[in-house]
Structure 1
């Protein structure tokens, strides 16, 4: 078969499967980023609370999940989680192995990793807010929730966007590791296509190009979001930030 036939959308082509796999990669990455956003926000609040116990727990979380290899965490969540679910099922009288869904386990594992990085992004974004703005908001009578909604959240979002762009790229690349669970995302599909056709060079190059396309488009989206978030800021203030 020719290269065009291998990459086409015909009966023997891999084009449709690669397209679906690319969409699966985006779905896993987006889900993991959302999970990480929730975890990262909670951990950032804990580390900013000033409570010794909460600060210590937050530091342990970010240290562990930024220091342990990502693949090990995926193994622990997928295989260890499946073993735990199977043990619970056997305790309830169910016989047989109960495996975690590949998508859910993979997104959770990568989301936990992403959360450890997002926590530092949100913490740094909050610390970048000028104290004078918070003091001014209190001086004019804003309560805590109103300050959070009108002052803190918009500022945190503005300062966090560049860091979140980097976390998205990291999460996108980490999603390739989920291929060990058998999920048909871009990396796994590229491996299967390469093994089935013996065209390893071709399909790994195509997989790499598709990842580069995703990262390039992501860069543009985050750059546009950053410009939009800063559109009302004076140029001097943006330079200082």
Structure 2
């Protein structure tokens, strides 16, 4: 079985190396960091910081779709005709928008372990259970992101005239097809500016996962600071990486917004 997965694993490791912006063949540290403290390999801290960058990006990219999906259904719940569903959705957004992100992370990281351990103990399983820090961080950021996302999507839902729904029903479309074909394209265009702001906030919030031991940018630079005692230098590197992610995100999101506006005009 190990041989079966070794080839795909080596392939993805090779892909990760090729496209590594810091320590890959065309990486910044590979070209400009050799013979310095940022050299890749055993000679410097380049590999460690590159790993932190990959972890930060992975947490953010995996959190985004999960948070969007949860936020979408919570926003639908807030518009439900069922009072209990509206109440539950409102409580969800109030809790996770009101709690500090760090506290939410601690509650999920430690509380989820306690909950799972209690359930397993009731079935006679006594061994200690530990939650993966990456999974816990992603869940915590997802629920916080989804709470804010739900409010943005709710505002977008309310900005769509009721006549749009009635037009779909008049064409013989059921509620699901009306939502998917008529409402959803408009919802995306209206909510996109707010969602882009939430993405930028999410990028910064990924730094919280360093508290539970996940090797993101902030944790890796923190380890380098403790070993080398060059705090200012490495924290400037961390600033540069976060700002680079923000600039790249801004360029990509600007393109998406222009594409959405063109799509709206064509319709």
State the TM-score, normalized to the length of structure 1: 0.90
Relative to 1, partners in 2 of residues 1:95 and 1:147: Cα closer, same or farther, differing over 3 Å? Answer: closer
The one of the two structures with greater contact order (alpha-carbon pairs below 8 A, sep at least 6) is 1
Aligned position for 1:32? 63
Verify: 1:54 aligned to 2:82, yes or no: no
Residue 174 of structure 1: aligned partner: 205
Instruction: Note if contact 2:157-2:187 (Cα within 8 Å) is conserved in structure 1.
Output: yes
Residues 1:8 and 2:39 are matched in the alignment = yes
Q: Does 2:129 correspond to 1:98?
A: yes
Deviation at 1:223? 1.4
2:146 alignment partner, one of 112, 115, 139? 115
Cα shift readout 1:111-156 (whole Å, capped 9, x = no counterpart): 0100101111111111122333333333333332321221111111
Give me the whole-angstrom Cα distance separating, in 1, the residues matched to 2:260 and 2:218: 34
Mapped partners of 2:56, 2:185: distance in 1: 29
Q: CA deviation at 1:234?
A: 4.3
Shift of residue 205 of structure 1? 1.1
Task: Give 3-state SS (helix, strand or coil) of 2:42's partner.
Answer: coil
Measured against aligned partners, the alpha-carbon deviations of 1:54-113 in whole angstroms (never above 9, x if no partner) come to 111111111111111111110011112222333334444444432100000010011010
SS at match of 2:264: coil
Q: How many residues align?
A: 235
Report the Cα offset of residue 5 of structure 1: 1.3
The whole-number CA distance in structure 1 between the counterparts of 2:180 and 2:119 is: 43
2:97·2:144 contact (CA, 8 Å) conserved in 1? yes
CA contact (8 A) 1:85 1:99 kept: no
TM value normalised by structure 2? 0.81
Displacement after TM superposition at 1:4 (Å): 5.9
User: Conserved in 1, the CA contact under 8 Å of 2:78 and 2:89?
Assistant: yes
Pairing of 1:202-217 with structure 2 (within 5 A): 202-217=233-248
Gaps of 5+ in 1: none
CA RMSD, 1 decimal: 2.1
2:180 is matched with which residue?
Answer: 149
Q: How far is 1:51 from its partner?
A: 2.1
For 1:132, the equivalent position in structure 2 comes to 163
Mapped partners of 1:88, 1:133: distance in 2 = 47
**Unaligned 5+ runs, structure 2:** 1-32
Q: Per the alignment, in what secondary structure is the counterpart of residue 37 of structure 2?
A: helix
CA distance in 2: counterparts of 1:5 and 1:91, whole angstroms: 55
